[in-house]
């Protein structure tokens, strides 16, 4: 295994935070072996014991919000208030599954003749999670809370840039009293993930990340006949109809574009506006965007921190530049700041059309693409003109129309009316198309990594 260290770099300054040695082959084999043994013992526990420990994990998160939030902001750059909110949300998902797992996984009795017949939900064993840097706590806990409550063990391969966060999460579960080796972080580069998937101990894989990463993991897991859940990218459309209330819609749209520095799979990315409201929407949107303050992410008064890395920032700027070269009009931003770190300003592109990166690709940063539609039907057509299908929203004064569009016409896994798209422990989360498959959260999510077993007694 490579001797190359995993590096955490502060994106606000570009300076090295810390380097971490990768696990060698022997250490990795020992971790996997330990996880298998721990998962077998954990499977024997009852929901009462699991729930008590998960509530302790939630308590640890709440007690250490400041510490964990500063770690998140240091490693990936999001504004500190958003980091605190992320930690709080992790506590919520722990509490949610601690309270509901037993109910969700109770035997479901079915009348099929014989003495009795029912569906049981048994844990699979050890689940491998390949997680991204953008929500370094939340992405992990929304997988780990249901997986552990279902009786599984977990191995975390986190993004290399947030290795400090990965180590902290493992320590948190240990401090909360979970059995040793049940939840472990493996410090390896992406090139070694395939070897871990091949190990017979690994029974399933969940990944949140890029389409390219999803294809690679799905191909390897498929070759091993192991189940996967994939949450990949998004190019979320926000449809603005003629009767939309722009007083409420515009601030929601701007926040939906800028949350987490625009580095969210479900961040608003394409704003599809019927032509009769286009000029008004653009003016209001630009005014709202330019009032957002970019600066030190540790300062609670700032709305926008740096991008997660300079290389990602440069890819984003390349998408903006190429879109402008193809005819998009830059109404705000679009220029690289002259300062150290991975900074990029709030940017608004208008006149975005097919063939431009801002129309065709996932734009992962604080860049809004405004697209004109002739009418409601055209707006829905444009919204669905994408290979992605994670989130979508529609803004309208007619709730019935909005509900019809969200419920039946927008092609995405999560559709909101007059609000921004977000995940919630109580609601299933996931996408279609190039946004992946499978569902996390709610009672759907906890069943993804169980053996849905038929039992028939004559």
**In the chain, what's the furthest Cα-to-Cα distance?**
75
Distance of CA 93 to the CA centre of its chain: 14
Distance, CA of 388 to CA of 358 (rounded, Å): 14
Give CA–CA dist 449/155, Å, rounded: 14
Half-sphere exposure of 203 (CA within 13 A, CB side): 19
Residues belonging to the chain: 458
Cα separation, 415 vs 431, in Å, equals 10
Is residue 130 within 8 Å of residue 209, measured between CB atoms?
A: yes
Mark out the alpha helices in 177-225 (DSSP H runs). Answer: 193-198, 211-223
Q: How far apart are CA 81 and CA 88, in angstroms?
A: 11
Give the Cα separation of 25 and 167 in Å (integer).
19
Q: Would you please indicate which residues are annotated as catalytic (active-site) residues?
A: 231, 265
Dihedral class, residue 140 (left if φ above 0, else alpha if ψ from -120 to 50, else beta): alpha
Rounded-to-integer distance, Cα 346 and Cα 291, Å: 10
How far is the C-alpha of 76 from the C-alpha of 215, rounded, in Å? 25
Distances (CA, A) of 339 to 13, 160, 263, 313: 9, 25, 20, 13
* Helix (H) or strand (E) run with residue 109 in it: strand 108-109
Q: Judging by DSSP bridges, how do beta strands 450-457 and 15-20 pair with one another?
A: unpaired
- The answer to whether the CB of 385 falls within 8 A of the CB of 353 is no
Pick the closest to residue 23 from 196, 186, 195 (CA basis).
186
């Amino acid at each position: 295994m490579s001797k190359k260290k995993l590096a955490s770099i502060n994106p606000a300054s570009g300076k090295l935070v810390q380097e971490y040695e990768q696990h060698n082959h022997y250490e990795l084999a020992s971790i996997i072996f330990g996880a298998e043994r721990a998962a077998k013992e954990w499977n024997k526990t009852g929901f009462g014991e699991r729930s008590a420990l998960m509530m302790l994990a939630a308590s640890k998160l709440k007690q250490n919000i400041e510490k964990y939030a500063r770690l998140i902001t240091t490693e990936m750059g999001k504004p500190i208030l958003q980091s605190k909110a992320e930690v709080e949300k992790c506590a919520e998902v722990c509490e949610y599954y601690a309270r509901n797992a037993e109910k969700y996984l109770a035997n479901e009795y079915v009348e099929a003749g014989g003495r009795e017949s029912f569906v049981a939900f048994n844990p699979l064993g050890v689940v491998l999670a390949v997680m991204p840097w953008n929500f370094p706590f939340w992405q992990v806990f929304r997988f780990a809370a249901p997986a552990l409550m279902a009786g599984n063990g977990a191995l975390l391969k986190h993004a290399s840039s947030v290795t400090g966060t990965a180590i902290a999460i493992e320590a948190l579960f240990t401090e909360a009293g979970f059995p040793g080796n049940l939840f472990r972080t493996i410090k390896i580069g992406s090139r070694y993930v395939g070897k871990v998937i091949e190990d017979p101990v690994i029974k399933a894989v969940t990944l949140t990340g890029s389409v390219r990463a999803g294809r690679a993991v799905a191909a390897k897991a498929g070759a091993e006949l192991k189940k996967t859940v994939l949450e990949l990218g998004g190019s979320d459309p926000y449809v603005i109809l003629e009767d939309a209330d722009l007083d409420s819609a515009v601030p929601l749209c701007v926040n939906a574009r800028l949350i987490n520095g625009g580095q969210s799979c479900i961040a608003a990315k394409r704003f599809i506006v019927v032509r009769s409201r286009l000029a008004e929407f653009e003016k209001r949107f630009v005014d709202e965007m330019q009032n957002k303050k970019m600066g030190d992410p540790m300062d609670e008064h700032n709305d926008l921190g740096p991008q997660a890395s300079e290389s990602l920032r440069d890819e984003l700027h390349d998408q903006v530049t190429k879109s402008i070269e193809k005819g998009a009009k830059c109404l705000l931003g679009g220029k690289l700041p002259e300062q150290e770190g991975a900074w990029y300003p709030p940017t608004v592109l208008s006149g975005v059309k097919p063939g431009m990166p801002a129309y065709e690709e996932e734009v992962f940063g604080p860049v809004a693409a405004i697209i004109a539609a002739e009418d409601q039907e055209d707006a829905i057509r444009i919204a669905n003109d994408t290979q992605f299908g994670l989130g979508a929203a529609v803004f309208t004064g007619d709730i019935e129309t909005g509900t019809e569009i969200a419920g039946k016409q927008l092609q995405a896994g999560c559709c909101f009316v007059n609000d921004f798209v977000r995940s919630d422990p109580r609601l299933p989360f996931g996408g279609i198309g190039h946004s992946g498959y499978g569902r996390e959260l709610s009672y759907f999510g906890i069943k993804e990594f169980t053996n849905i077993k038929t039992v028939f007694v004559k």
